[in-house]
Each structure stands twice: as C-alpha cells, then as structure tokens.
Structure 1
Amino acid sequence: MPASLDRPSSPLLPVLSVIAGIAAFSVMDAAMKAAALGVGVASALLLRNLFATAITFPLWLVAGRPVPTPAVAKLHFQRSAITAIMAALFFHGLVRIPMAEGMAISFFAPIIALYLAALMLGETIRPRAVLAALLGLAGMLVIGADRFGAGEYGPDAIEGTAAIVLSAVFYALNLVLQRRQAMLAGPVEIALFQNLNVALIFLVLSPLYWTMPDAQTLGWIAAGAVLATAALLFLSWGYARAEAQVLVPVEYTGFLWAALMGWLIFGEQPGKGVVAGAALIVLGCWIGTRKTQIDI
C-alpha cells in the first residue's frame, strides 16, 4: 500500500516526525551498545529484529495486511541487506569508541551519498560537494587528533573508527534507497518487512556466533526493538511527506542524543575535539546537501 503523499496539516509535522525518529534511534543505539557488550553484536541484532518483527506484526494486521508487489519486495530486501551490514559494522565500532564520537563519524554518510549519487545516477559532482568532503575529512581528522592527543587511540579505537566509517558508506546507500522506499510503501509495511528480512539474514548466520543472553541483556534488547520500531515508523512517515533535502539536516540532532545517552549510561564525556570535529562534518554536510532556499 503506497504511502500517502498528501500534504500534512502542518508543514512542520514531517520535520518533527523525523526528529522523534532520530531521537528514538539514538536511544536505541545506547540500548544496543549495552546489549552488544553482553552477548556480542550479531546475537543482539538478531534478537532485536525478532522482537521488532513481533511488535510490528499486529500493527501490520491492523493496517490491512499490506503486501508488497514483487518489485517493492525486492526493494525491501535490498535495503534490509544494506541495513544488516550497516548495523553490524556500526555496533561493532560503537562498543569500541564513545557514542558521541561514533555518531559524529557516521555523519559523514550524507557526503558519501553525494558521490554515490554521482556514481549510480550519473549526477555531476559540483564544487560544493568537493568542499563538503574536505570539511568532513577535516572533521574526522580533528576527532582523531583529539584521541591521539589524549593517548587513547589504541588498536580497539582504530578498529572501531574504521568500522563506523565503513558503516557510513552503507548508510549512504541506505539514504539513497530510503526516500524511494517511502514513496512506494507505508510506514508499517516498511517496518515489518525490514525487521523480518534483517532477522532472517542474521538467523541464517546464527550458528556462527550465537550467545545466550541473560535477563538484563534481554531487557536492553527488548527496549532496542521497541525504539527501533518507533524510529522506523516516524522516519518512514516523515520521509514520505517532505523532501530529503529538508529532512537530512535533522539527522544531526542525533549527536546531542548520543552524547546524552553516552554520558547517562556509560559515563562518556565527549572532548572538545569531538565536538569541533562533529561541527566541521555537519557544516560539510549542510554545504553539500543544501539547495537554494527551501521553505518548510
């Protein structure tokens, strides 16, 4: 069932919906980091997506059991496969570096998306895209310098940083598909089939990694499933009703949530270099993705 493209009663509603989705995803990141520290990334992601599938199935029934066409089902699976790789890399990195730092590095994804659009869609790389990439790289170097200066950049931190940078590449692919998917399917359909597909992908590989969680870890995973489902619904609703150019800058509010959750749950305090590096990356993303003026 295609998402309705009717203009919402308030032009700010899609923006608020995406803000809520980013907040839910950021809090979910903290829950999943806690779970991954207990049972490993893959086991935590498998259980989260199984729980999330169970949560979204009744919503799918209430929504009238929308079934995708073969073409849309293929798109659902493509994005799910990208999401599975992206999530595994992101949480592999996040258990090795602080949340605010990981979120800041992941902001490089919209800049990567500019170059993927040029590669996949034949778009011209404009000078501002080059400037955006240089600012983003400068931001990551500032973050790295902050770590080196504090003497904290050991092998684990290097591995974690590399994993999140690679995750950002897959997140950029995810951004390219997200808008198209939201135009072809409703939020509940997207949430159900993405959770189900990702769960199946991890389930096939589960003999290689499975670890049984304790009660506390199950609680973190269940919270992550609820938050991830809510985030998917909010983001799918918002992206179906406003241009991506308007909504992409909202992604940067995730840094504030990540810093808050890292401090509250893990006692992490982002240094000045992380904040400065995040600001450079955000500036690069803003320069690279903005159009002439967009009224919302």
Structure 2
Amino acid sequence: MPAPPAPPILARLVLLAIAAEGLLTLMDALIKQLSPHYPTLEIAFLRYAFGMLGAVVYALWMRPGWPTREAAAYNGLRALLIVVTATSFFFALGRLPLALLGAMLLGERLDWRIGLALTAGFLGMLLIVGGKLGAAGIGEEVLIGAAAVLVSAVGYSLNLIMLRHRATRDPLAQIILFQNLGPALILALPACWVWKAPTLADLGQFAFLGTIGVVAHTMLAHAFARIEAARLAPITYVTLVWGVVFGFLFFAEVPGLATIAGAALIVLGTLVTQRR
C-alpha cells in the first residue's frame, strides 16, 4: 500500500475526487433527460460504446501494455458488476428526483475523523432523502426506483472496492479501457433487442456522456490509487450535493430546508477527511 500523501497532496486528491463525482452527476443529469426517449439498455450501451472509443484513444496514447491474466479476470468481473450497477441506476434515473440517486455508498472506515465524516455524510443523506421522499410521496414509481437504486448502490460500493484494489496494481489506461470495453461488449446484443434509432443531436449527447465518463473515472482511479478507500468513502456522499445542484439547474427541483441542511452536513464531512 502506498504511503499516506502529505496534507497539500491529500487536499488536491480530495478535490480531484469531488470534481470527478461532479462530472458523474452531470452525466446522470444528462442521462435523466434522455431516459424518457430511449430504453435503459440502449442508453447504457451507447454511454459505454462512446466511452470505449475515448478509452481506446487514451490507451493508445499511454501504451499501458498487455494486461496480466489476473488483471484481465479481475477487470472482466468488474465489467459485469458495472453493467448491473449502471443499468439499474439508469433505470432509476427516470423515476426519482436526482438528489435521491447517490444515497447509499459506504466504504471501509478506520480513523475517528473518517468515522465522523461518514456519520455527517450519512445524516446529511438521510435529511436529503427524507425531504425528497416526503415531497415526492411514496408511489409505485418511487418504490421501483428506490429498489433499483439499492441494487445500484450495492454494486457501486463493490465496484469502488475493486477499483481501489486494481488502481494500485494496474495502469490507469488499462483499467479505464476494461471499464468501458467490457460493458459495451456485454450490452451490445441486449441493446439490439430494444434498439430505437437515436437522432444526430442525441448521438452527440451520448458521445459527450462517454467522454465525461472516461474523464471522471480516470480522475477517480487516480485518486483511489493514492488515498485509502476509507478516506474517500465520505466524499461519495458529495454526489448528493451535486445532485441537488444539477437537479435544480436541469429539472427545477427546488431544494427544501432539509436538503440544504443535509448538504451542509455532507460538506462538513468532506472537510473533515482533509484533516490528518
């Protein structure tokens, strides 16, 4: 395991992870706009197909070499997990307010500051989710979306653990290539069954989504290779804060007092992670 980074480097890596979560939440907002018009499997396929093109360019530039058998097997398993996580999450995007959709990601914890940050983030999450559920009501669509988010959250947590494991062993370009190539290949045939021809404008948006995904996951992998997962775990709650911001900008989802208070707790928890 690499030595813990110095405080200034730690702060930069934390900011890098926060920016990556922001890009991923922007991607979610754009997918939420597309979800009424295209099947979930097609959306997931196109996101990873265009991401694969960007990942191939990145790999050709970085020249990471051929993966070992262990790396191929491990990253192949991650690709399957990513498919389950992404499709369930993209399905939920059409059914829940955006600020609900990052609600359950927990990682390892050790240091008392990390425990405090996780507690603040978790309480902030409860305030945001409770306020949004109260506003949306508990209808069938909300319950179905919440179940999909639960599946996605479990998959995402496992994916982060596996990412941390490989990020200290494999070249970043190799990880990002597997992360996009694998899901694109797995989803290609299922997407054909439900295919709806996208417009030229929407194809451009899917290409943008793929680019965002590659950039954001490269940033996350870079951070995870240098910071223990427990210290980054509270930062995943920042997805909720980004969700509030993009929910307001894209869908006029006005945050209530509970949401604002929850966001403040999450920001507090994130600041705690920067202290050693």
Q: Which residue of 1 aligns with 2:41?
A: 42
Q: Which residue of 2 aligns with 1:264?
A: 249
Relative to structure 1, the CA distance from residue 204 to residue 137 in structure 2 (aligned partners, 3 Å threshold; closer, same or farther) is farther
Q: CA deviation at 1:28?
A: 1.0
Q: Which residue of 2 aligns with 1:81?
A: 80
Q: Which residue of 1 aligns with 2:101?
A: 102
CA distance in 2, matches of 1:237, 1:146: 33
Q: Which runs of 5+ in 1 are unaligned?
A: 118-127
CA distance in 1, matches of 2:136, 2:184: 39
Contact 2:51–2:180 (CA under 8 A) maintained in structure 1: yes
One-letter identity of the residue aligned with 1:153: I
Relative to structure 1, the CA distance from residue 136 to residue 235 in structure 2 (aligned partners, 3 Å threshold; closer, same or farther) is closer
CA offsets 1:121-154 (integer angstroms, 9 cap, x no match): xxxxxxx99xx79x95995597357534x46332
One-letter identity of the residue aligned with 2:60: L
Relative to structure 1, the CA distance from residue 205 to residue 217 in structure 2 (aligned partners, 3 Å threshold; closer, same or farther) is same
- How do 1:42-191 residues align onto structure 2 when only pairs under 5 Å count? 42-103=41-102, 105=103, 108-110=104-106, 113=107, 140=126, 143-144=129-130, 147-148=133-134, 150=135, 152-191=137-176
CA distance in 2, matches of 1:6, 1:162: 37
Q: CA deviation at 1:240?
A: 0.8
Q: CA deviation at 1:249?
A: 2.2
Q: Which residue of 2 aligns with 1:122?
A: none
CA offsets 1:223-262 (integer angstroms, 9 cap, x no match): 2111101001111111111222222222222222221111
**Identical aligned pairs, as a percentage?**
29
CA distance in 2, matches of 1:74, 1:213: 33
CA offsets 1:69-100 (integer angstroms, 9 cap, x no match): 01011111111111111111111111111111
Q: How many residues align?
A: 269
Relative to structure 1, the CA distance from residue 279 to residue 84 in structure 2 (aligned partners, 3 Å threshold; closer, same or farther) is farther
2:101 aligns to what SS in structure 1? helix
CA offsets 1:38-80 (integer angstroms, 9 cap, x no match): 2122111101111111112121111124221010111111111
Matching of residue 201 in structure 1 with residue 186 in structure 2: yes
Q: Which residue of 2 aligns with 1:216?
A: 201
Contact 1:38–1:213 (CA under 8 A) maintained in structure 2: no
**TM-score under structure 1 length normalisation:** 0.78
One-letter identity of the residue aligned with 2:133: R
Contact 2:161–2:229 (CA under 8 A) maintained in structure 1: no
Contact 2:42–2:194 (CA under 8 A) maintained in structure 1: yes
- How do 1:234-245 residues align onto structure 2 when only pairs under 5 Å count? 234-245=219-230
Contact 1:35–1:218 (CA under 8 A) maintained in structure 2: no
Relative to structure 1, the CA distance from residue 146 to residue 47 in structure 2 (aligned partners, 3 Å threshold; closer, same or farther) is closer
One-letter identity of the residue aligned with 1:51: F
Q: Which runs of 5+ in 2 are unaligned?
A: none
